[in-house]
């Protein structure tokens, strides 16, 4: 892989050293490493290892510098064929975020510290994956900045065991030539005053102790304050300020005790594991990420951050009990070897890169009616085959959520309803939810204004859909004009091709659970239907929005009676809105069919239809359910075109009277529904009896409509 790390500068510090070490590791292990920064003393370490460094002013916070950096970094990403961007600070992360969106390269961020609740700090949680060095940072990123736990990866920092070699200390080290050190920048959070006050107590008992303070001073005024405190405590002869040093391993090899007296929450505490690798016993305050490293009185000593007396007592305990000090040092060394060595940190980081590249988060939007959602199932299957390791989510309406509940191709279902009131509030909540999920790709199969807007607000780098002039400017991959009369699956396939899907299996599928199958078995038993009895399902209703799809109710009643004469049981299906129509149908029949209207969930309906030998339906969701479970289907079409809306099963018959006005797609017919009335009860009965009596897969006698459909590939 080609990895680009970006950080402000390469002068000194743990973040900088970690960046250099990781880049060298990647380069050594067959990957391509690139680093972007404003430069610094460590650039030479990179170039000597063959790592490419680009100098950009990514440390500057003014908007013009950021815009220039976005443009230049985008060029570098394309030129170096970068696979992953890795940002290690806030301004670089902001730059990398926009470059990630422009180049479709995943962004990984590492949180090296505790960020204030500032707008700019939020960018550290915008990575596809967010690396934290300790549990406390992970908790902070989740609680303060809303980063989902699923995107956080814990990778503790590591120490180079070849550089920091274990050096067991003889007993006299704890009584003679005592060196107590503090390593860290001269900033208030590091607890230098606490340390010096504790050392004043130690020096009274061990007057020859040497106290080393190692680290630079970002603000000279703070160092002056510390020098004044040293003088006030009478430690001028004992304390040395060594400034910035690059021979930390050498200094630790001669150190008796390391103290890490942080008074604020530390992100991790790299110097503690370096001391552990070198065999130096450690005293540290019980703050932040430091508690992830040490177990009190086993690996070291933990003390409160506000009491120099207790800190001094911990140092005394080591000095007076060398055996205990060695025991803690050995225990910490063993823990470092197991959990905190550099190669382990690099291996875990490389796995995060691989995950960021391989595991895509995909959102499919399909907010329409039940039948249309069923027709989207082949597209979900195609996406799963194309992206087998992806996390696939589907955004559907409330009524359709149960259709895909049992779908094995998806990982998650997101439900969105636009209520009659507070539509803008519901839309705002959904945009917030989608943006938090950090999707890589949106496949918009709905293709209306709302779905295009939601795709954009998700923040996905790739947003594919139809260029239908309904706010399609929110998409960045769009189809060209679709041919008129294109079938539903072919229409979806045009969008799938935009994301690399090359083949679409047209098979419909639906799934049930054992509990649902059992409920239908018991329901049919209660209606005295034996397993050997022929059962015909009829869905006489259509959507209330499409009354023109309705075959006359009296025709359905006659059909039920004709089937009953032949000892064929009929079950009537439908939803709650079909109850008035069903009651009218039952009032017209002499032999009452089984009433399943509004008595099944959508999944139970699948199980019920599967139990039928034939299923009869208008252009509606149950028609697609029959096609998905392989039941012989008799489809009744009127104002709509079966060439566009039917995904035919292996055995089917379509009745559609092509009149001069067909297909009209009108929801109110001005001439009295002649297309539906011309379909006779005898035609439907003959087709039903053919399917009910066939013993093997066969074909129907020639039917004008079916032959036309076959010619068109339906």
Instruction: Say whether pLDDT at 289 is over 80.
Output: no
Element (H, E) at 472: none
Highest mean pLDDT among 107-116, 170-179, 698-707: 107-116
Query: How does residue 551 score in pLDDT terms, banded at 50, 70 and 90?
Result: very high
Average pLDDT of 684-703? 68
pLDDT per residue as tens digits for the range 431-474: 988 988 889 899 999 989 999 999 999 988 899 999 887 888 99
Displacement of CA 168 from its chain's centroid (Å):
47
What are the strands of the beta sheet with 84-87, ordered from one edge?
Answer: 52-55, 32-37, 2-6, 84-87, 107-111, 129-132, 152-154
Contacts of 204 (CB under 8 A, 6+ apart): none
Per mean pLDDT, which range of 79-83, 216-220, 297-301, 586-590 is the poorest? Answer: 216-220
Q: Report the distance separating Cα 2 and Cα 32, nearest Å.
A: 5
pLDDT of residue 420: 67
d(CA 449, CA 431): 14
Angle at 329 between CA 328 and CA 332, to 5 degrees: 85
Measured distance CA(499)–CA(521) in Å, rounded: 42
- Asked if residue 203 has a cis previous peptide bond (ω within 30° of 0), the answer is no
Give CA–CA dist 145/134, Å, rounded.
Answer: 16
* Those residues with Cβ within 8 angstroms of residue 321's Cβ, 6 or more apart along the chain or in another chain: none
CA-CA-CA-CA dihedral for 77, 78, 81, 87, to nearest 10:
10
- What separation in angstroms does the CA of 314 have from each of 193, 320, 326, 609? 17, 10, 14, 76
Cα(622)–Cα(631) distance, rounded to whole angstroms?
Answer: 11
Torsion over CA: 522, 525, 530, 535 (sign): negative
**What distance lies between CA 40 and its chain's CA centroid?**
36
> What pLDDT does residue 711 have?
38
Q: Is the pLDDT of residue 148 over 60?
A: yes
How high does pLDDT run on average in the chain? 89
Q: Which CATH number fits domain 2-154: 3.30.460.10, 3.30.750.24, 3.40.50.2000, 3.40.30.10?
A: 3.40.50.2000
Dist. CA 488–CA 647, nearest whole Å: 8
- The pair of structure tokens assigned to 127 is 């990575």
Using 50, 70 and 90 to split pLDDT, how confident is the model at 532? confident
Whether the per-residue pLDDT at 704 is higher than 60: the answer is no
Angle, helices 192-205 vs 220-232, to 10°: value is: 20
Q: For the domain made up of 359-498, give the CATH fold.
A: Rossmann fold (3.40.50)
Lowest mean pLDDT among 35-49, 281-295, 341-355: 281-295
The residues facing 37 across adjacent strands are: 55
Averaged over 310-331, what is the pLDDT?
94
Among 12-21, 323-332, 334-343, name the one with the lowest average pLDDT.
Answer: 12-21
Alpha-carbon distances, residue 137 vs 22, 110, 290, 347 (angstroms): 21, 10, 11, 21
Q: 712 pLDDT band (50/70/90 cuts)?
A: very low
pLDDT tens for 557-606 read 999 999 999 999 999 999 999 999 999 999 999 988 999 999 999 999 99
* pLDDT value at residue 707: 42
Residue pLDDT, tens place only, 370-393: 889 999 999 999 999 999 989 999
- The dihedral of CA 356, 359, 360, 362: what is its sign? negative
Mean pLDDT in residue range 179-184: 94
More confident call, 402 vs 232: 232
The pLDDT tens digits of the residues spanning 248-263 come to 999 999 999 999 999 8
pLDDT of residue 709: 42
- 514-711: CATH topology is Rossmann fold (3.40.50)
Judge whether 2-154 and 171-339 match in fold: yes
Mean predicted confidence (pLDDT) in 286-297: 85
pLDDT for 708: 42
- DSSP-based three-state secondary structure for 469: coil
Q: Percent of the chain having pLDDT more than 90?
A: 64
Tokens describing residue 567: 């000892």
Task: Retrieve residue 310's tokens.
Answer: 């207790």
Better pLDDT: 213 or 435: 213
C-alpha distance from residue 251 to each of 37, 84, 245, 262, 530 (Å): 29, 37, 9, 20, 87
CATH number of 171-339: 3.40.50.2000
- pLDDT over 90 (residue 14): no
Taking Cα atoms as reference points, which of 250, 322, 253, 260 lies closest to residue 292? 260
Report how far residue 357's alpha carbon sits from residue 83's, in angstroms, rounded to the nearest whole number: 7
Bigger pLDDT: 14 vs 532: 532
What percentage of the chain carries pLDDT values higher than 70? 96
Cβ–Cβ < 8 Å for 144, 110: no
φ/ψ region of 152 (left if φ > 0, alpha if ψ in -120 to 50, else beta) reads: beta
The dihedral formed by the CA atoms of 203, 205, 206 and 212, expressed in degrees to the nearest 10 = -30
| Across 397-401, 415-419, 547-551, 623-627, least confident range | 415-419
The pLDDT, as a whole number, for residue 700 is 44
Residue 514 C-alpha from the chain's centroid:
30
Domain ranges of the chain: 2-154, 171-339, 359-498, 514-711
């Amino acid at each position: 892989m080609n990895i680009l790390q970006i950080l402000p500068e390469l002068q000194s510090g743990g973040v900088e050293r970690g960046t250099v070490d990781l880049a060298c590791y990647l380069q050594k292990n067959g990957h391509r490493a690139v680093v972007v920064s404003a430069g610094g003393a460590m650039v030479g370490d990179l170039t000597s290892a063959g790592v490419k460094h680009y100098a950009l002013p990514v440390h500057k916070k003014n908007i013009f510098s950021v815009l220039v950096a976005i443009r230049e970094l985008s060029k570098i990403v394309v030129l170096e064929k970068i696979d992953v961007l890795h940002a290690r600070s806030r301004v670089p992360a902001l730059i990398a975020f926009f470059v990630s969106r422009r180049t479709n390269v995943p962004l990984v961020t590492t949180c090296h510290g505790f960020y204030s609740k500032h707008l700019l700090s939020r960018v550290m949680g915008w990575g596809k994956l967010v690396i934290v060095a300790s549990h406390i940072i992970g908790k902070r990123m989740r609680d303060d900045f809303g980063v989902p736990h699923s995107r956080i990866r814990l990778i503790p920092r590591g120490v180079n065991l070849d550089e920091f070699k274990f050096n067991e200390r003889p007993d006299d080290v704890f009584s003679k030539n005592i060196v107590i050190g503090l390593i860290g920048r001269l900033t208030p959070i590091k607890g230098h005053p606490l340390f010096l006050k504790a050392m004043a107590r130690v020096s009274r008992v061990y007057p020859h102790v040497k106290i080393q303070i190692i680290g630079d001073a970002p603000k000279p005024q703070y160092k002056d304050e510390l020098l004044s405190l040293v003088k006030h405590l009478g430690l001028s002869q004992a304390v040395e300020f060594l400034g910035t040093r690059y021979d930390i391993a050498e200094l630790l090899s001669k150190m008796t005790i390391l103290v890490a007296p942080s008074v604020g929450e530390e992100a991790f505490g790299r110097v503690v594991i370096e001391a552990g690798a070198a065999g130096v016993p450690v005293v540290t305050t019980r703050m932040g990420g430091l508690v992830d490293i040490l177990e009190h009185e086993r690996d070291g000593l933990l003390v409160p951050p506000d009491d120099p007396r207790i800190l001094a007592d911990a140092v005394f305990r080591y000095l007076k009990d060398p055996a205990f000090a060695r025991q803690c040092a050995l225990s910490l060394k063993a823990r470092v070897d197991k959990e905190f060595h550099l190669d382990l940190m690099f291996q875990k980081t490389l796995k995060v890169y691989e995950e960021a590249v391989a595991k895509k988060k995909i959102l499919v939007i399909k907010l329409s009616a039940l039948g249309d959602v069923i027709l989207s199932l082949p597209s979900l299957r195609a996406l799963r085959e194309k992206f087998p390791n992806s996390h696939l989510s589907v955004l559907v309406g409330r009524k359709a959520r149960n259709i895909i509940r049992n779908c094995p191709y998806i990982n998650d279902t997101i439900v969105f309803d636009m209520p009659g009131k507070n539509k803008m509030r519901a839309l705002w909540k959904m945009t917030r939810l989608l943006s938090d999920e950090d999707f890589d790709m949106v496949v918009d199969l709905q293709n209306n204004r709302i779905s295009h807007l939601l795709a954009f607000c998700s923040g996905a780098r790739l947003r594919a859909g139809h260029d239908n002039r309904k706010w399609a400017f929110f998409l960045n991959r769009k189809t060209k004009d679709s041919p008129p009369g294109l079938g539903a699956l072919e229409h979806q396939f045009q969008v799938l091709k935009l994301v690399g899907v090359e083949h679409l299996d047209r098979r419909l599928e639906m799934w049930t659970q054992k509990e649902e199958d059992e409920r239908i078995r018991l329901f049919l038993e209660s209606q005295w239907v034996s397993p050997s009895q022929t059962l015909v399902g009829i869905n006489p209703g259509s959507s209330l929005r499409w009354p023109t799809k309705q075959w006359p109710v009296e025709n359905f009643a006659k059909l039920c009676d004709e089937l009953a004469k032949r000892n064929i049981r009929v079950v009537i299906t439908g939803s709650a809105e079909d109850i008035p129509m069903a009651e009218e149908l039952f009032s017209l029949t002499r032999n009452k069919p089984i009433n399943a209207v509004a008595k099944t969930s959508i999944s139970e309906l699948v199980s019920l239809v599967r139990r039928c030998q034939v299923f009869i339906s208008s252009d509606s969701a149950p028609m697609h359910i029959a096609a998905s479970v392989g039941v012989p289907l008799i489809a009744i079409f009127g104002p709509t075109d079966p060439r566009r809306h039917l995904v035919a099963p292996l055995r089917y018959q379509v009745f559609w009277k092509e009149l001069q006005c067909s297909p009209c797609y009108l929801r109110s017919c001005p001439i009295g529904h002649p297309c539906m009335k011309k379909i006779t009860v005898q035609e439907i009965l003959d087709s039903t009896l053919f399917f009910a009596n066939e013993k093997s897969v066969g074909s129907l006698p020639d039917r004008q409509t079916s032959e036309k459909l076959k010619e068109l590939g339906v």
